[in-house]
Structure 1
Amino acid sequence: MYITQGLHRHMKERPDTIAVRYQGRSMTFAELGDRIARLAGALKTLGMASGDCVAMLSRNSQRYIEYVFGVPWADGVLNPVNTRWSVAEIVYSLDDSGSTVLIVDDTFAEMGQAILEQAKTIRTLIYAGDGETPAGMLSYEALLAAAEPIADTRRGGDALLGIFYTGGTTGFPKGVMISHNNLAFAGFSSMSKGLFDRHSVYLHAMPMFHLADFSALYCLTVSGGVHVPMPAFSGEAAVQAIVDEQITEMLLAPTMIQMMLDARIASPALATVDLDSVRHIVYGASPISPTLLDRACEAFPRAAFFQGYGMTELTTIGTTLAPEYHNEEHHHSGKMYSAGTAGACVEVRIVDTDDNEVPRGTIGEIAVRGPNVMLGYWNKPEATAEVLRDGWMHTGDGGYMDTEGFVFIVDRLKDMIVSGGENIYSAEVETAIASHPAVAQCAAIGIPHDKWGETVHAVVVLKPGHNASEDDIVNHCRERIAGYKCPRSVEFRSSLPLSGVGKILKNELRKPYWEGRKRNIA
């Protein structure tokens, strides 16, 4: 398998069919293929050798799609850069991967100059923006115009496709090595569930540097649908894009769904727009509260909802909850709020600390095995050996499996709160808090306590125009969960710190409380 296979098929069978719509412009498969071949030719002219890493620091765009296919077309390796990182974190990832070329857009042109001064391995900086090319950079468009298109090397199989860096908030990032086969098997697992076809119009709302959107990009190209890149996400812009582009498919984090629904409430103009074009919504990256899921189902009545559970190390695919479980029957059975069952060609089991599979219904660590599991961490053999044991990827997520193979996520093991010897799963506390009608977002963390070790602290964002006190939140929780699980303190904020894909950064919330202290949990 190789990433450009689907592109070649549609270039031959449907050359004049629209492949990309971006900022009022359309591009056919033939035009897209020509630009990709020219980008590959330009990279070779610049001295890119087989297996060299090429990095891109950019918002979502048509040129990002060209980068994704153009680098492996030239027999190179991708290094999509996290746009939320600092210069220091980016420089580390570039030097660690040995990236020789960095492509930046308008948003990151100035940062690119600072990176070039500090990075040891970057020798070429390419400007992929729409303005005047800054000094010291090469123009992306000028390079393509001057380059001869070259034949696809068809780099594929178990060859390295890309290094996708994770972390960067608690120490050095880890580079996850993903092969062409990893991506292909993960993609076909998604498509086996009925996602993507030639009629799909997909909104790239997630950042393209993230492997979740990257995987969707691959699936859509194999299927022959239309890419609609969204440079920067906002709830208002996403709703408007659905209307303007007649979007059929989306991949969203729960926080993004929340922002879209809130945008409709805040704007009379958006409250009544027709969203019936949306037929598939995949949600993941973090747990979704039952209240938010119910709101989403109501807002998109014609959409089939899928939940995807996974991680970068699994090429995003672990389990899937199919649309038929998003209904009233399974609201009551509880399956609507599970992470679903193992993806195609994937095995999942729940293990204890000795890697023994635990009985059904018992909480342990989720372990996954299959052709989607990463090759390992770049330059980190010890870290690889720690999580990859006997072919099983140990996720660090706590959960249990019912008798029908449905997996229920209870928490990241590192986010578990231990108070007075009792294990408290933050996700359970957050579900109780989120059901309060005034709550828009929340996070539950453990903070130090001299007697109990840790106590539950809630950080809450209220909906616009709503009010609630600390006592309101605590009393609301007492009606739903055991007293020892309820928050002992509540903090109200206007927003929560989020990663580039909408995950709440709990380590940032914990940091002020644990400065100079050591947690019992990593």
Structure 2
Amino acid sequence: MYLTQPLHRLARQTPDRIAAVDAGRRLTWRALEARVAAFAGALRSRGLEPGDRVAMLARNGTDFLVYILGTFWAGGVINPVNLRWTGGEIGYSLENCQTRFLIHDPEFAGLLPAIRAAAPGLVHVVETGAALDGWIDAADPVEDALRRGDDLAAILYTGGTTGFPKGVMLSHTNLASSAFGSIAARQGPAGTRYLHTAPLFHIGALSGLFVTLLSDVENHFLPAFDPLAVLESIARERIVELFLVPTMIRMVIDHPRFAEFDTTSVRGIRYGASSIDGALLDRAMEAFPNAGFIQAYGMTELSPTATVLGTADHGAEARANGRLRSAGRATMVTEVRIVGPDDTELPRGQVGEIVARGPTVMLGYWQMPEATAEALRGGWMHTGDLGVMDADGYVTVVDRLKDMIITGGENVYSAEVESALATHPAVANVAVVAVPDAKWGERVHAVIVPRPGETPCPDVLTAHCRASLAGFKIPRSFAFVDALPLSAAGKILKNVLRDAARETNTGDTP
């Protein structure tokens, strides 16, 4: 499989249909193919060799789509850049994998001195807008290089908040297999107009793009997530399907103008990237009654999808048997199991590490053979997530291994405590972390974002938790904040919360 195949097919079958839309441009499949071939020609005329890396530091838009497909067409490897990194961090990632080409939005020009200082191997830098348009228009189109199969397609850097990020190497087969697995597990019709809101440097958004390309879908792009812009786009463009992480779902349905917009066109909402609490999911399903909900679980190293909870698993029966809170079952191209510390498979119902294997598993970490061997030991990708599998293969993710709290010798899964707190009417958002405790080793600490106009009391929240949690799981300390720190992909940065809590922690149980 080669990832440019959908473009070849659709440019021939439906050349005059709309392929991609952003605020400034609408491209048909014919026009997209021509722009991609010319972008590839510009790269080759400047010396791109098969397998060379091409980076993009930009907001979502049609240029990002052209960059992805044009790099593949030229025979290169995409290396999209995390917009929240510093210039030094960006430069590290570029130099680490010897990236020579960088496309960037004008707003990031101020980072270039630091990027160049950290990435002396960077040769060609082009700004989007008039410069990129001229670069493309002046180039002769070239034939597709047709890199495919196990050829390297992408290097996606993970981490960067502590230590050095790792470059995850994904092949054409990896990314295509994940997309096919997601399509097969859709359990409902494909949307005809898909809204891309999450940043395309993130694997969750990137995988959604490959799903849409393989599904003959009209792609609409927002430069960045904004709840009002999402609502406006849904109403104006009659969006049928979109991907939102849980924090984005919360921001959309909580927007004070939500009721003003016609959202009845939405037939599918994909969610994932982090766990969702039951109260939020219930509210989302009520807010979008026409939509089928689909949860995907995975990670960058799995390209990314391992399991899917499809639309059929979001009904009354799933609610009754508890499967609505699971992450679903392995896709048609993936094997998943739960293992103990010795990597032997555990009986159903026991908590252990989630591991997976199949054609979606990464090629490895760029120039990190030891880390690759550790992650892929025994032929299985070790996710670092704790989960449990039921008799029918449904996997429930209970926590990250690093986020599990051990208090007084008992294991506490932060997601369970977060779900309990999220049902309190005064709580808008919550994250639970461990802090050191002189008596218990670690204690459960909850960071709460109150709803507007509410001032939740720790004693009231503690009493609320007692109704559904064992005593050792109840938070022993609370912090109240205006907002939780988020990564560019919308994930809560628990390392930031842990650091803040430890700075003010005395080590004594209150």
1:269-288 to 2 correspondences below 5 Å: 270-288=258-276
Secondary structure of the 1:499 match is: coil
Residues 186 and 310, structure 2, Cα contact 8 Å, conserved in 1: no
User: Does the aligned pair in 1 maintain the 2:191–2:241 contact within 8 Å?
Assistant: no
- Per-residue CA deviation, residues 170-198 of structure 1 (Å, 9 max, x unaligned), is 21001100000001111111111237977
Aligned counterparts, 1:154-233, within 5 A: 154-194=146-186, 200-233=192-225
Which aligned pairs between 1:254-269 and structure 2 lie closer than 5 A?
254-263=246-255, 266-267=256-257
Counterpart of 2:74 in structure 1 is 74
Structure 1 residue 255, shift from structure 2 partner: 0.3
SS at match of 1:108: helix
The alpha carbon displacement at 1:359 in A equals 0.7
- Equivalent position amino acid for 1:13 in 2: Q
Correspondence for 1:136: none
Would you say the 8 A contact 1:351–1:364 is kept in 2? yes
Q: 1:328-355 deviations in whole A, cap 9, x for unaligned?
A: 3322211000011111121110000111
Residues 25-57 of structure 1: CA deviation (Å, up to 9, x unaligned): 311011011111111100111121221111001
Structure 1 residues 379 and 59 mapped into 2: Cα distance closer, same or farther (>3 Å)?
Answer: same
Contact 1:196 1:219 (C-alpha < 8 Å) held by counterparts: no
**Contact 1:196 1:225 (8 Å CA) reproduced:** no
Q: How many Å apart are 1:391 and its aligned residue?
A: 1.5
Whole-angstrom distance in 1 between the partners of 2:113 and 2:30: 34
Number of the residue aligned with 1:118: 118
> Is the 8 Å Cα contact of residues 186 and 311 (structure 2) preserved in structure 1?
no
Cα-to-partner distance string for 1:467-500 (whole Å, 9 max, x where unaligned): 3111121111111101110111110000001111
Name structure 2 gaps, 5 residues minimum.
none
Q: Is the Cα contact below 8 Å between 1:196 and 1:220 reproduced in 2?
A: no
Range with greater deviation from structure 2 (162-171 or 16-25): 16-25
Q: Name 2:497's counterpart in structure 1.
A: 509
> How many Å separate the matches in 1 of 2:200 and 2:27?
19
CA contact (8 A) 1:285 1:309 kept: yes
Q: Does the 8 A contact of 1:38 with 1:147 survive in 2?
A: yes
Structure 2 counterpart of 1:247: 239
The corresponding residue for 2:5 is 5
1:19 matched to 2:11? The reply is: no
Once the two structures are overlaid, the 10-residue window that deviates more, 186-195 or 93-102, is: 186-195
Please state how far the C-alpha of 1:411 moved relative to its aligned partner. 0.2
Aligned match of 2:479: 491
Structure 2 partner of 1:133:
none
Q: CA RMSD in A?
A: 1.6
Amino acid at match of 1:10: L
- What is the CA distance between 1:390 and its match in structure 2? 2.1
Is the counterpart of residue 423 in structure 1 residue 415 in structure 2?
Answer: no
Give the match's secondary structure for 2:16.
Answer: coil
The correspondence for 1:312, drawn from 289, 296, 300, is 300
Question: Which amino acid letter does the alignment assign opposite residue 490 of structure 1?
Answer: F
1:37-48 paired onto structure 2 within 5 Å: 37-48=37-48
Q: Which amino acid aligns with 2:370?
A: E
Q: Is the 8 A contact 2:150 2:171 kept in 1?
A: yes
Q: Which runs of 5 or more residues in structure 1 are unaligned?
A: 131-138
1:201 and 1:225 in contact (8 A); partners too:
yes
- C-alpha spacing 1:452/1:114, structure 2 compared with 1 (3 Å): same
Q: Is the 8 A contact 2:279 2:422 kept in 1?
A: yes
> Does 463-472 or 336-345 show the bigger shift?
463-472
- Indicate conservation of the 8 Å contact 2:51/2:77, yes or no: yes
Deviations 1:416-461 (A, max 9, x none): 0011111111011101111111111100000011111110110010
Q: Distance in 2 between matches of 1:225 and 1:197?
A: 11
Instruction: Note the C-alpha offset of 1:515.
Output: 6.5
Q: Whole-Å Cα distance in 2 between the matches of residues 275 and 460 of structure 1?
A: 30
- Which structure 2 residues correspond to residues 50-89 of structure 1 after superposition, within 5 A? 50-89=50-89
Give me the TM-score of the superposition, normalised by structure 2: 0.97
What residue is the counterpart of 1:410 in the other structure? Answer: 398
CA contact 1:197–1:225 (8 Å) conserved in 2: no
Distance in 2, matches of 1:484 and 1:129, equals: 57
Work out whether residues 116 and 125 of structure 1, in 8 Å CA contact, stay in contact via their aligned partners in 2.
Answer: no
2:95 and 2:118 in contact (8 A); partners too = no
Q: Percent identity?
A: 50
Distance 1:397 1:363 in 2: 10
Contact kept? 1:196, 1:223, Cα under 8 Å: no
Secondary structure at the counterpart of residue 248 of structure 2: helix
Distance 2:491 2:331 in 1: 22
C-alpha separation in 2, matches of 1:51 and 1:197: 36
TM-score, length of structure 1 as denominator length: 0.94
Contact 1:249 1:280 in 2 (8 A): yes
| Kept in 2: contact 1:286–1:503 (CA 8 A) | yes
Q: 1:235 aligns with which of 222, 227, 238?
A: 227
After superposition, the C-alpha distances for 1:40-97 in whole angstroms (9 at most, x for unaligned) are 1001111212211110011101100000000111111110111111112111111111
> Which 10-residue stretch deviates more, 451-460 or 210-219?
210-219
Superimposed CA distance per residue, residues 213-270 of structure 1 (whole angstroms, 9 cap, x where no aligned partner): 111111211222111111011111111111111111111100000000111xx12xx3
Alpha-carbon spacing, 1:224–1:75, altered in 2? closer, same or farther (3 Å): same
Q: Secondary structure at the match of 1:396?
A: strand
The 4+ residue runs of structure 1 with deviation greater than 6 A are 195-198
Are 2:360 and 1:351 aligned? no
How far off its partner does 1:466 sit?
2.4
Q: Distance in 1 between matches of 2:209 and 2:493?
A: 26
Q: 2: CA distance between counterparts of 1:230 and 1:107?
A: 16
Asked if the contact 2:91/2:114 (under 8 Å) is kept, the reply is no
In 2, distance between residues paired with 1:198 and 1:432? 34
Task: Please point out which of 371, 389, 400 is paired with 2:377.
Answer: 389
Separation of aligned partners in 2, 1:193 and 1:394:
23
Residues 176 and 376 of structure 1 are in contact (CA less than 8 Å); yes or no, is this contact kept in structure 2? yes
